[in-house]
Chain A
Amino acid sequence: MSILGNRVRRVEDPRFLRGEARYLENIPLEGALAVTFVRSPLAHARVTGVDTSAAAALPGVQVFTGADVDAPPLGPPPQWHVTEGMVRPLVATDVVRFVGEIVAVVVSQDRASGADAAELVMVDYDPLPAVLSAEESLTDEVLLFPEVGTNVAGRSGKEHDESLFDGCDTVVSGMFWSQRMAAAPMEPRSSAATVDADGRLLYWGTTQTPHTDKMILSGMLGLDPGQVRVVSPDVGGGFGAKMLEAEGVLVAWLARKLGRPVRWTETRSENMLNLPQGRAQRLEFTLGGTRDGTLLAYRLNVLADVGAYPWLGTALPNFTALMAPEVYAIPKVETQTASLLTNTTTTTSIRGAGRPEAAQAMERAIDTFAAEIGMDPAEVRRKNFIPKDAFPYQTATGATYDSGDYEGALDLVLRSAGYDELRAEQRRRREAGDPVELGIGLGAYVEISNPVGETEFGEVEITEDGGAILRTGSFSHGQGHETTFAMIAAERLGLPVERVTVVKGDTDQVPKGTGTFGSKSTQIGGVAGGLAAEAVVERAKELVADYLEASAADVVLDAGRGAFHVAGTSEPSLAWADIASRALEDGRLGELRVSHEFQAPPTFPFGIHLAVVDVDTETGKVVLTRHVAVDDAGTLINPLVADGQVHGGIAFGVGQALFEEIVYGEDGNPMTNTFVGYAFPSAAEFPSFERVEMVTPTPANPIGVKGLGESGTVGSTPAVHNAVVDALLPHGVRHVDLPCNGENVWKALQEAKP
């Protein structure tokens, strides 16, 4: 029986449970100097002088400014189509553009003396007016890059079609901010670097993309890629945000400059200011249709606040636009996006990365439309879903959805939640005049995983003792690949899972890779490993044929016992350990090492969430009491791990719906740079989640698997957002700003009062 689909406990768990994890900060590095960054306290200012003398006079302290650093600025890659000339110097020289930007680098014997020295670096600033919102940025009155002449870092879409809503008897519109959020991985970032006797750079980073980082580092430092090794050890969460940044490049540069090992670990407040943030999109929707509930046309305008330097966040509105139609067969869809610079932290991908925003806009639009025509929001959705038999389905925005059953998911969630009973309870409370209203919200979605159709590397090698090593270019920072990828290879090899060791995160041990983001790992990395395992089985058949004096075409693998024999007779047989030892003697073990690169188109995970909230209309307090989630990501390798991915995704999305927000004060001063100011939810803020499994395989890869790491986030925010507004409909509320915390709910109630 296949191991795939079983709830296999994770093989990587023991080291984390015993306190033996190899997080970067735990790795010893003899004689390493400590790196401390001196950062701008102002959002926008001219730097008129940096006096390092007092700091540099301290024993064992060296200070570097922008003038000392000869590495080029960190620019976005060309495929993001960012306006030219908006690049970030590793260390600011003339101008600082956000609070936290690096103005000098201190190297010291230890971290405490580095902190003391950093205090002594005197920087003269001449404050400039700060641009703190995308709307303000759009006016181009204050430019972040005057020489470029605009704050627009990217745009997409066509001019508005004035006839878009012709034929619609009902048109609704709305606008809200999908607010700025922190990725907030529990492990802050670290970097360390050293140069070996041959001049080769060894760099450790807390990154999701070691191979990409190697290419960027070698390019920026002017090194041959062969002269750089990047290791990403155990990483304590990434959520899309942990990639190579200015800090990491500077650590590598310093190791070469000084010829000494150096290391840096950020504080939480440094992390909250400098780890790129996410969302920060203003969503403006218009949805038109007829009073029978038929949707005819949809327009989505996205205004993204991408922070001080264009980074991945600048390109994400393209995904929002692509996914704008979501799960609905709307004939006409029009999108426009603009990405604007502001004097705030740079933005990047965080869990969902452009797709949550599309679902947030559409699902609010659907509920607004349903309220306008007085139809049950579930029925408006049902009436407009892309039908099950329409796949592959080409959307009005040019996406080709692989597979789906949106109405099936709706039926499942309504049944599982007991929708009719919930509506009855809602009516009962309303009739009784209960100050605590019950709200029910739906969040349907389809998202895009492996969004740019990437290639991933996998290699399987049979070891001397008959076990296997699986090398993957995917990276795992909590997702459990050491178990799920091992399961895929083990199933094909007929070996127990614990006999397959997954190797990742080291560019010397794995020759290539694209890392992990965009929920792509299993569908390309996992599949590549599986195909490599299949190829190893074919190679093994040739060896077995020689050893058993048979034809390779007649040799079969009995996966149940991990042994090969000639078809039709189970003995004699050779197990992997037998083959490995004979191949080792014959010098043929190397034949049992095969690599495979697998490329696949994007897949489109989908689902629908139903949230139930209590909203206290006297205080504005919202409590999420139930969250029922149908998330369909095709075939499941390990449902135990899949559940965990969905749970985490839901919490991230509920965090956005109810609690979290990065806030800047009027002068650009960050107000939420610790876990005291930033509303990171705890266990007390959530109910247990009710996950309902649904499996619709994709034809895009041989396993039928789609991405599952982000989809829970995509569905949960709009479900909870809609539930809060639903609770308040009798009070005349039609909109509540995100996050729907007590303050925003209370404000919406006050504004709705006649």
Chain B
Amino acid sequence: MTRIALDVNGRRHEAEVEPRSLLVYFLRDELGLKGTNVGCDTSSCGACTVLLDGESAKSCTVLAVQADGCEVTTIEGLADGERLHPVQQAFHEQHGLQCGYCTPGFVMATVSLLKENPSPSEAEIRHALEGNLCRCTGYHNIVRAVEAAARAGA
């Protein structure tokens, strides 16, 4: 077991973890943050995307020990109380989600994208979100949501 200390959604956590355990299972099973989903075994789908020191990362591809000393933001850490984060709000308004399973990952990836590129073109959005998969929406309204969030200055 290895001791780690990290900030998750602004709260300090210290824990003993197995060196082989993945960040996503640490978040889900140790911290009870079930909003981050697991959709594949191959780091293909992006359902588990979180922010690691402000940048999007697939938490199934990061060992919990690698997050030692980092700041992690999950989907639970995005809204300001009752008020949704502008990216969450845009997904709601543009019907950018259906079954919702990929949604936390897309929202986190979008937050990261708009930080790097505040007004991406449609082609840039599609390229940037290539690492996140959705089976319900055909991505059409996800792209609309990202555009709307960019317009809202998210």
Chain A residues packing against B (C-beta within 8 Å): 9-10, 13-21, 23, 25-26, 184-188, 234-237, 239, 267-269, 477-480, 640-641, 643-644, 647-652, 674-676, 680, 682-684, 686, 688-689
Q: In the complex, what residues of B have CB within 8 A of residue A237's CB?
A: 98-99, 101, 135-136
Q: In the complex, what residues of B have CB within 8 A of residue A683's CB?
A: 125-126, 129-130, 132, 134, 139, 142-143
Cβ-defined contact, A648 with B137, below 8 A: yes
Q: How far is the CB of A198 from chain B (nearest CB, A)?
A: 30
Cα A649 to Cα B91 in complex, Å, equals 19
Given known pairs A18-B76, A683-B130, the reply for A675 and B135 (CB within 8 Å) is no
B33 at interface by CB-CB < 8 Å: yes
When C-beta atoms are compared, the residue in chain A nearest to B75 turns out to be A19
Q: In the complex, what residues of A have CB within 8 A of residue B135's CB?
A: 184-186, 237, 239, 648, 652, 680
Q: How far is the CB of A712 from chain B (nearest CB, A)?
A: 8
Q: In the complex, what residues of B have CB within 8 A of residue A686's CB?
A: 126, 138-140
For the complex with contacts A13-B100, A650-B138, A682-B139, 8 further pairs of A-B residues with Cβ separation under 8 Å are: A25-B38, A185-B99, A648-B138, A652-B138, A680-B135, A683-B134, A686-B138, A686-B139
The listed residue (A13, A186, A689) touching B39 by CB distance below 8 A is A186
Q: In the complex, what residues of B have CB within 8 A of residue A648's CB?
A: 98, 135-138
Given known pairs A644-B136, A644-B141, A682-B133, the reply for A21 and B41 (CB within 8 Å) is no
B118 at interface by CB-CB < 8 Å: no
Cβ-defined contact, A20 with B35, below 8 A: yes
Q: In the complex, what residues of B have CB within 8 A of residue A649's CB?
A: 138
Cα A10 to Cα B141 in complex, Å, equals 14
Interface window among B51-59, B63-71, B102-110: B102-110
Q: In the complex, what residues of B have CB within 8 A of residue A680's CB?
A: 44-45, 133, 135
Cβ-defined contact, B44 with A478, below 8 A: no
Cβ-defined contact, A675 with B99, below 8 A: no
Report the interface size for chain B: residues with CB under 8 A from the other chain: 52
Q: Interface residues of B: mostly helix, strand, loop or mixed?
A: loop
Cβ-defined contact, A236 with B33, below 8 A: no
Cβ-defined contact, B45 with A186, below 8 A: yes
Cβ-defined contact, A10 with B137, below 8 A: no
When C-beta atoms are compared, the residue in chain A nearest to B100 turns out to be A16
Cβ-defined contact, A269 with B33, below 8 A: no
The listed residue (A641, A647, A675) touching B42 by CB distance below 8 A is A675
* Ranked 6 nearest A-B pairs via Cβ: A19-B35, A16-B100, A236-B101, A651-B138, A478-B99, A675-B44
Q: How far is the CB of B65 from chain A (nearest CB, A)?
A: 16
A-B contact pairs, 14 of them (CB 8 A): A16-B103, A17-B88, A20-B35, A21-B100, A185-B101, A186-B37, A644-B136, A644-B137, A644-B141, A651-B137, A675-B42, A676-B44, A682-B131, A683-B132
Cα A184 to Cα B44 in complex, Å, equals 13
Q: In the complex, what residues of A have CB within 8 A of residue B91's CB?
A: 13, 17
Q: How far is the CB of A69 from chain B (nearest CB, A)?
A: 27
B30 at interface by CB-CB < 8 Å: no
Residue among B36, B47, B141 having the largest count of chain A Cβ atoms under 10 Å = B141
Q: How far is the CB of B28 from chain A (nearest CB, A)?
A: 8
Q: In the complex, what residues of A have CB within 8 A of residue B98's CB?
A: 237, 478-480, 644, 648
Q: How far is the CB of B57 from chain A (nearest CB, A)?
A: 16
Q: How far is the CB of A355 from chain B (nearest CB, A)?
A: 19
Cα A237 to Cα B98 in complex, Å, equals 8
Q: In the complex, what residues of A have CB within 8 A of residue B133's CB?
A: 186, 675, 680, 682
B127 at interface by CB-CB < 8 Å: yes
Q: In the complex, what residues of B have CB within 8 A of residue A23's CB?
A: 34, 37, 101
Residue among A19, A651, A684, A688 having the largest count of chain B Cβ atoms under 10 Å = A19
Residue among B74, B103, B127, B142 having the largest count of chain A Cβ atoms under 10 Å = B103
Q: In the complex, what residues of A have CB within 8 A of residue B97's CB?
A: 13, 16-17
Q: How far is the CB of B112 from chain A (nearest CB, A)?
A: 15
Q: How far is the CB of B104 from chain A (nearest CB, A)?
A: 5
When C-beta atoms are compared, the residue in chain B nearest to A234 turns out to be B100
Cβ-defined contact, B141 with A19, below 8 A: no
B122 at interface by CB-CB < 8 Å: yes
Cα A278 to Cα B40 in complex, Å, equals 20
Residue among A269, A675, A676 having the largest count of chain B Cβ atoms under 10 Å = A675
Q: In the complex, what residues of B have CB within 8 A of residue A187's CB?
A: 37, 39, 99, 101
